[in-house]
Structure formats: structure tokens, C-alpha cells
Amino acid sequence: MLNLAGSRSAGVQKIYAPIGPAQIFDFTPMKTIFLDIDGVLHPSTVGELEYGPQGPKVTGPGVCALEERLARIVSGRAVEIAIHSTWIYMFDARTLRAEYLPKLGHVARIQLTNKRIESRALRILDYVRRRHLSLDQYLILDDAPKEFASAVELLPRLVACDPARGLDDPIVIRHVEEFLR
């Protein structure tokens, strides 16, 4: 932090700045990964939705089991994760980061698409348009490609995951890694 008060001597103002390593600024454009959760971070058959005094909770072995794998892939990259999953109707971004996506939230910014828009595809289109994303700036990971029939412009950016494997599929991993290059 600069000390702008400094000291004055004979009309000269001294400005003190911290001495330390030079800051390196990375001007790589931010990339966005649109993330579905069920069928991508865990098989679509995993997890039970329960309602308790604190609200909804998804429980069971294997819930978001592949979150750490995605976190390792995006770590150190200029990436934001935009959740377009139906989970946005149950949880806010803070809850998702803290309870289900802590490792991913540590290495990437997590955002939610607009939950007032019912269609996944239209939520993504809204997000892309509001942020003026070009085709090479986003990738969609989802296990329900039929959801995108109404938005054919998104199909070239869609990686259709096998709902039983999600990110456990080497082809999906390869698509994500190529996108981040």
C-alpha cells in the first residue's frame, strides 16, 4: 500500500511504497465453464434430497465426488464456473461453495445463472449475452443434451457427459483441458 502522506522536505514529496516481489499481471481473458452438477460431478443416480430445519440438503456417498478433479484441472487458470444446474433452485452460491464445491471455490470464481429463467439453455444464453462472451470463452458441461435443442447456437460449446460417468470420462477431461489451453 502506498503511503501518500509521505514527508515533505524543501517542496519535495516522498512517496513510500512497499518493497517486495514484482507483481505480474495476467491479461488472459477469463474463460467460463457452465457446470451441471448431477451427471457431471457425480453419477446422476447419486444423492438424496432431504429437507431439514436448515432447508434442503443433498446427501449420500459420492455427492460431488468429481469436484476435486475439476478443481485440479482449472487451478491456476483464469476461469469462472457458472452453475446452470437445477441445484441453483435449492442453494445460493455461498452454500454451493461452502458445502458442495469447496475445492473448486478455492481455485475458481463460482457464479450462478439466472434462476428466474426456467430453461438451462436459455439461462446460459442469458449469461453469455450479458457478459458478451465469445464462442471461445465458454464451455458447457451437461449430461442432458436434449435440454439444448431450443438453443442450437450453444451446441458447438456443449460437452455431453455420460450421466453415469460425468468427469470420470477421459474424453470429457480432454475437452476441458483443450478448452483451457
Nearest to 139, CA basis, from 53, 61, 91, 81:
81
Q: Residue 135 — left, alpha, or beta (φ > 0 → left; ψ -120 to 50 → alpha)?
A: alpha
What per-residue confidence (pLDDT) applies to 48? Answer: 84
Angstrom distance (rounded) from CA 95 to CA 87: 11
Q: Is the pTM here over 0.75, yes or no?
A: yes
Digit-coded pLDDT (tens) for 61-118? 999 999 999 999 999 999 999 999 999 999 999 999 999 999 999 999 999 999 999 9
Pairing of β 31-35 and β 12-16: unpaired
Angstrom distance (rounded) from CA 145 to CA 40: 12
Q: Could you give the domains of the chain? A: 22-180 (3.40.50.1000)
